[in-house]
Amino acid sequence: MGRATLEKNPRDVASMFDAVARRYDLTNTVMSLGQDRFWRRATRAALRIGPQDKVLDLAAGTAVSTVELATSGAWCVAADFSVGMLAAGASRDVPKVAGDATRLPFDDGVFDAVTISFGLRNVVDHAAGLREMARVTRPGGRLVVCEFSTPTNRLFATAYKEYLMQALPRIARAVSSNPEAYVYLAESIRAWPDQTQLAHQIADAGWSSVRWRNLTGGIVALHAATKPLR
């Protein structure tokens, strides 16, 4: 399986990431011109976690996002439904669990904070994913979604769209172990809700105090929210 379509069939998505896994981290860094490290650090800071916290990193892939979270001293678990992605991160010293974002293998309210980086866009029913994340978070616990979003400057947005559709698949052919997946990446970013729409969807899924911050001119947005106390 080279790539998923915008229907995001879970089997297709999981096998697409299995095929991407081998060179996933390198491809990310090349395509984002090294910005991925900055986005991950900003996600950790936005979660406001420390050694007292239990944290779920959902759609963690190779656990590259999880190890950054773990630098806070928090206990962090990586969950993903692509066993190939988890296996590619085997050398990363964090607990890893195979699981689907829409049916998480965790009890209610067990995490102080949950986060998902570049994963929510790939979940077939992302509203269900947001509700599942709320279920496993304790009342008062925190959510941060790190996801590609809509650049705020119109001129820049046009150049960026061109980069997504033209340059990104070409770079992928040189670097990735599954270049076709990067056509899906470009399409799925273009079809994804903008900052305001995603904020409404997060609130509709049962989260409160939803707010966001743009990174790199809105190429990425960090949405933060809190699980209501009751």
Ligand X SMILES: C[S@@+](CC[C@H](N)C(=O)[O-])C[C@H]1O[C@@H](n2cnc3c(N)ncnc32)[C@H](O)[C@@H]1O
Helices (H), the chain: 10-20, 24-31, 35-47, 64-70, 83-88, 126-136, 154-162, 168-175, 181-190, 195-204
Residues 6+ apart with CB under 8 A from 131: 205, 206
**75-83, 89-97, 131-139, 194-202 -> range binding ligand X (CB under 6 A):** 75-83
- The Cβ of residue 106 has, within 10 Å, a number of other Cβ atoms equal to 17
Out of 27, 122, 137, 201, point to the residue binding ligand X (CB under 6 A): 122
- CA-based nearest residue to 201, from 141, 109, 128: 128
- C-alpha distances (whole Å) from 64 to each of 72, 88, 203 are 14, 10, 28
- Site residues (CB under 6 A) for ligand X, limited to 126-185: none
Which lies closer to ligand X via its Cβ, residue 114 or residue 139?
A: 114
| Minimum gap (Å) between residue 217 Cβ and ligand X | 19
- Piece in contact with ligand X (CB under 6 A), picked from 61-69, 131-139, 209-217, 221-229: 61-69
- Asked if residue 207 binds ligand X (CB under 6 A), the reply is no
Question: Binding residue for ligand X (CB under 6 A) from 46, 55, 81, 88?
Answer: 81
Residues 12-51 vs ligand X: string with x where CB under 6 A?
Answer: -xx--x----------------------------------
CA distance 96 to 76: 9
Which parts of this chain interact with ligand X (CB under 6 A)?
10, 13-14, 17, 59-61, 64-65, 80-82, 85, 100-102, 117-119, 122-123
